Amino acid sequence: MSGAEAQPTCPSTVVERAAGVAHRSLGGRRGRRIPIIGWVGLGLVMTFVIMGLGASRLAGYRVIELAGKPFRPPSLGHLLGTNLVGQDLATQLFYGARTSLFMAVAAGGGTVVVGAAFGMVAGWAGGPIDAVLVRVMDLFLVIPGLPLLVVLGAYVGPSMTGVAIIIVATAWPGTARLIRAQVLSLRPRAHLRASVGFGAGTIHVLRRHVLPEVTLVVVAAFVASAGWAIMIEAGLAFLGLGDPLRASWGRTMRDALDFNSLFFSGAWKWWLLPPVLCVALFLLGLTFCGIALEQQVNPRLARHAVAPAHHGTRV
């Protein structure tokens, strides 16, 4: 027996080496350069984050304050003019960014937390537990989301927290199925099997080994869920199911469209167009961030994106 074979191997050392190989692989994946589209998306998102967090400083008035004469065009005192009751439209735009930011964090984050918890447990446990959880996911997936949102929104009342809970309750199954598929692909890996073989518990394995491997997938799911939450909040506010005491881009659009002469007076340029652009650009920024994250998770997407057409690369 050679000297190298005579040396005993510590079980913890085996697990650490196997885990180290996996983490180095993950680190290499995370170390890839972020594409330009990702930086553009991040810039757009950070613009609205600054608008939301700094709304109290950027806005010159309170949301419900009668700041000037009704229906005034843009001026130095009112950058986007005033509505039919004299409220400053720029103030509503800034505070609407805060509402959308709250919904993105609360509803988007809640969706990812619930979905990741169900997906990781289902994918790792397998067997009857996985079967039951998958049936629960399928049950929520077949429920029509938009009608349920409208009905529950009318039942819960004008509450931002209630709307966030409704969005989480209807949106988590998609994230759960995505995370479950990722965990199922990780189960056969050597360092995970070694960790289980040496007595590591389920919580330890999920927290120390599985979660780091699915981090990018979770972040990408959060970006998608945040965009969905912003769109749903604006839609519910447009239908009059939002909080009337909170500024919302959807409610601003509804108030503008309630004005019969909106498109004949030119007021749509400063009353309707800004909130529409804000919603579109916020969602566009989140979409660009999501595309960049998907290219980090799946490098084949990045290669196909830059492959010349004459190479005949199949997608």
Q: Is the pLDDT of residue 288 over 50?
A: yes
Read off the pLDDT of each residue in 113-123 and give the average, rounded to a whole number: 93
Q: Which pLDDT score is estimated for 96?
A: 94
Read off the pLDDT of each residue in 155-176 and give the average, rounded to a whole number: 83
pLDDT digits (tens, 9 = 90+) for 78-95: 999 999 889 999 999 999
Read off the pLDDT of each residue in 212-219 and give the average, rounded to a whole number: 87
Q: In the structure encoding, which two tokens stand for residue 103, read together?
A: 């919904």
Q: Which pLDDT score is estimated for 92?
A: 93
What are the CA-CA distances from residue 167 to residues 36, 103, 149, 229, 282 (Å)?
Answer: 31, 9, 7, 7, 18
- Of all residues in the chain, what percent carry a pLDDT higher than 70? 83
* 307 CB-near residues (< 8 Å, 6+ apart): 313
Q: Is the pLDDT of residue 177 over 80?
A: yes
Number of other CB atoms surrounding residue 157 within 10 Å: 10
Yes or no: say if 213 and 181 are a contact pair by the CB < 8 Å rule: no
Read off the pLDDT of each residue in 240-257 and give the average, rounded to a whole number: 86
Q: Which pLDDT score is estimated for 20?
A: 45
How many CA within 13 A on the CB side of residue 182?
27
Read off the pLDDT of each residue in 271-289 and give the average, rounded to a whole number: 94
Read off the pLDDT of each residue in 141-152 and give the average, rounded to a whole number: 78
Q: Is the pLDDT of residue 182 over 80?
A: yes
What are the CA-CA distances from residue 224 to residues 104, 134, 162, 297 (Å)?
Answer: 10, 21, 20, 14
Q: Which pLDDT score is estimated for 303?
A: 53
How many CA within 13 A on the CB side of residue 106?
18
Q: Which pLDDT score is estimated for 67?
A: 85
pTM assigned to the model:
0.77
CA dihedral 182, 163, 42, 290 (to 10 degrees): 30
Yes or no: say if 215 and 293 are a contact pair by the CB < 8 Å rule: no
Read off the pLDDT of each residue in 289-306 and give the average, rounded to a whole number: 68
| Domains present along the chain, CATH in parentheses | 34-298 (1.10.3720.10)
Q: In the structure encoding, which two tokens stand for residue 244, read together?
A: 């009337």
Task: Give me the chain's average pLDDT, please.
Answer: 81
| CA angle (163 as vertex; 218, 249 as ends), nearest 5 | 95
- Single out the residue of 281, 278, 228, 229 nearest to residue 253, CA to CA: 278
* 2 CB-near residues (< 8 Å, 6+ apart): none
284 pLDDT band, cuts 50/70/90, is very high
Residue by residue, DSSP assigns 228-284 as HHHHHHHHHHHTT-S-TTS--HHHHHHHHHTSTTHHHHTTHHHHTHHHHHHHHHHHH
Q: Which pLDDT score is estimated for 286?
A: 93
pLDDT digits (tens, 9 = 90+) for 21-78: 444 444 444 456 888 999 999 999 999 999 999 998 988 898 888 888 888 889 888 9
Q: In the structure encoding, which two tokens stand for residue 240, read together?
A: 């009059």
Q: Which of 10-19, 55-64, 113-122, 253-262 has the highest mean pLDDT?
A: 113-122
* 4 CB-near residues (< 8 Å, 6+ apart): none
